[in-house]
Amino acid sequence: MKWRKKPMRLQTAIALLACVVVLLALTVTGVLIGKEVAAKTEADLANEAQATSRIVAQSPTVIEAMTGKRDEAEIQTLAENVREATCVQYIVVMDMNGIRKSHPDEEKIGKRFVGKDEKDVLQGKEYLSVAEGTLGTAMRAFVPIRDEDGKQVGAVAVGILMNHIREAVIESTFIIYTGIGVGLLTGLFGALLLARKIKRVLFGLEPYEIAGLLEERTAMLESVREGILAVNRDGNIIMANAEASRIFRRAGIVEEPIGKAVEDFLPRSRLRRVLESQHAEYDQELELNGLVLVANRIPVAVEGQVVGAVATFRDKTELKQLAEQLTGVKLYADALRAKTHEFMNQLHVILGMAHMGKQDELASYIRRITNNQQMEIGTVSRLVQNPILAGFLLSKWSIARERGVQLEITGVHPLPRLEEPEMVHELVTILGNLIENSFEAVEGSESKTKKLQVFLGYDGEKLTLSVEDNGVGILKDQQEAIFNKGYSSKGDDRGYGLHLVRASVERLGGNLAVTSDEGMTRFSVELPYCEMGEKP
């Protein structure tokens, strides 16, 4: 009689797998982080040694003492004061013959430097070295001492003992490994709880039973030629068939819908409204990123309680394929990246100045960037009341500085508050693409000074926008073609920005004009607009 091996229960398999994954993940992560922290600690100590060496080498007291203008005993006093205020173990000042002028052990002052690694610094080089000296093996930072005329008169060696470095590394990594140990125990306990929870959620079904149910459901859903989208009672998407995914891809939506809130994934789906009203909607048009769909939305009830809703839809037209709704998001992301990059650069400069103790230069630098920021914020806040549009324009200043372009934003009358999100999105699309187009135009010009001017205005009945640059210009026979979809002189996958601008202007019922000569191009936009509460 043959005995078939009993398959492992789902609960047991999940618990074992989760335990193994947690163990491997934490172990690998711990090792990698530990190495990174150790390397970072050593690098920080090396930087500390180098910074201390430079401070001592540039000290007027040391320079004057080495050139005979001060008593050499002052070198020892200064070196010991600096050593006690830092994490280094010794600071040795030596003359051009390698004779010590300072040392933690005063008996060694006047004797030759030990270690045989000082030759290069006496030839004017600055470097790090690991060698054994009178106090033991140490990492040493060498910096030459130069007088006011740039002539080398000695050198400084700052040392951190390797035992001290090892202790610092152990101290830095101890907390990490302790946390990993606690995380491992927590993960193992959580894995057991997760396995039991999953088993309950699956109603006690084993994998082969679940597979059979899924195959039957999938076969039914994939056999229809309409897109099907289902949400639960919380409005989260729980199912989308292959036809729905195909329609989403045609509309430029490639992200996975399962698990997302339906209003975030499809803002105009109206499924949330169907859930709340519990009334079906039939044969309603749905515009999705240029695709026009005919949709039916039906609430799903179980035992008289609404537990979700289903939308079925089919393509009515293939007039558009551009995902215009995503354009504004891309512009926001580019602007945020530039702002973040600029901010990090400023932080690095501030950190470097603070680390080197250059307080006056640091204060001047902070005042300069603060004044620039206040000027930009003042200009934009005077002209733009909508916070989204104002923040977007401020970030364009960061992009302009990053690209080496002089950006000027002017206006006569401030824009209204622009309470309508759709209007703000269209303005971001228009201004963002026009400014980006001008950036590319000035970058392609031979002008030493690259300028870009943005004008904003409002007279109570219409918005006026213009973007002018001193770039290469646009030929007259191209001034109409540049708005065609896909038209570009910059290569493939380009030529959509100005097309989107014209589409947005037309949707808002406005006018778009371009004026261009050699060395100057201006795009002008007029949009009818009355603030809410005013008569048009």
Q: Note the pLDDT tens digit of each residue in 232-249.
A: 988 899 888 888 888 888
Q: What is the mean pLDDT of residues 153-158?
A: 93
Q: What does the pLDDT average to over 57-86?
A: 89
Please give the C-alpha separations between residue 413 and each of 128, 190, 388, 467, in angstroms, as whole numbers: 61, 61, 19, 17
Contact in structure between 130 and 162 (CB atoms under 8 Å): yes
Q: Are 258 and 289 in contact (CB under 8 A)?
A: no
Global pTM reads 0.38
> Which whole number is the average pLDDT over 251-267?
87
What is d(CA 165, CA 143) in angstroms, rounded to the nearest whole number?
21
Sequence-ordered alpha helix ranges (H) in 357-496: 359-383, 387-403, 421-443
Residue 463, CB-side half-sphere exposure with 13 Å CA sphere: 26
> Is residue 154 scored above 90 in pLDDT?
yes
Q: What radius of gyration, in Å, describes the C-alpha atoms of the chain?
A: 35
- Identify the CATH assignment for 227-317 out of 3.30.450.20, 3.30.700.30, 3.30.565.10, 3.40.50.720: 3.30.450.20
> Are 7-204 and 227-317 in the same CATH fold?
yes
Q: Indicate the pLDDT class of residue 2, thresholds 50, 70 and 90.
A: very low
Of 9-23, 29-43, 426-440, give the range with the top mean pLDDT.
426-440
Structure tokens, 66: 């080495």
- Report pLDDT digits (tens) over 91-114: 999 999 989 999 988 888 989 988
Helices (H) and strands (E) in the chain, counts: 13, 14
231, pLDDT greater than 60 = yes
Q: How many residues does the chain have?
A: 536
Pairing, β 462-469 against β 127-133: unpaired
| DSSP class per residue in 216-249 | HHHHHHHTSSSEEEEEETTSBEEEE-HHHHHHHH
Q: Is 204 helix (H, G, I), strand (E, B) or coil?
A: coil
CATH code linked to domain 325-528: 3.30.565.10
CA distance 113 to 99: 6
pLDDT bucket at 187, cuts 50 / 70 / 90: confident
pLDDT value at 489 more than 80: no
CB 470 within 8 A of CB 385: no
Q: What is the mean pLDDT of residues 407-422?
A: 84
| 332 contact partners, CB below 8 Å, separation of at least 6 | 392, 428
When pLDDT is cut at 50, 70 and 90, the band that residue 155 belongs to is very high
H helix or E strand, kind and range, residue 194: helix 162-201
Mean pLDDT of the chain: 80
d(CA 167, CA 35): 15
In a 10 Å sphere around its CB, with 0-12 CB exposed, 13-18 middle and 19+ buried, how is residue 52 labelled?
buried
**Residue spans per domain, the chain:** 7-204, 227-317, 325-528
Asked if 443 and 514 count as a contact pair (C-beta separation under 8 A), the reply is no
- Secondary structure class of 420 (helix, strand, coil): coil
pLDDT at 92 (0 to 100)? 93
pLDDT of residue 492: 46
pLDDT by residue (tens digit) across 275-319?
Answer: 888 888 887 878 888 777 878 899 988 878 888 899 888 776 533
Which CATH architecture fits 7-204?
2-Layer Sandwich (3.30)
Residue 5 pLDDT greater than 70, yes or no: no
Residues 334-386: tens digit of each pLDDT: 555 656 666 666 666 667 767 777 677 766 766 666 655 555 565 677 788 88
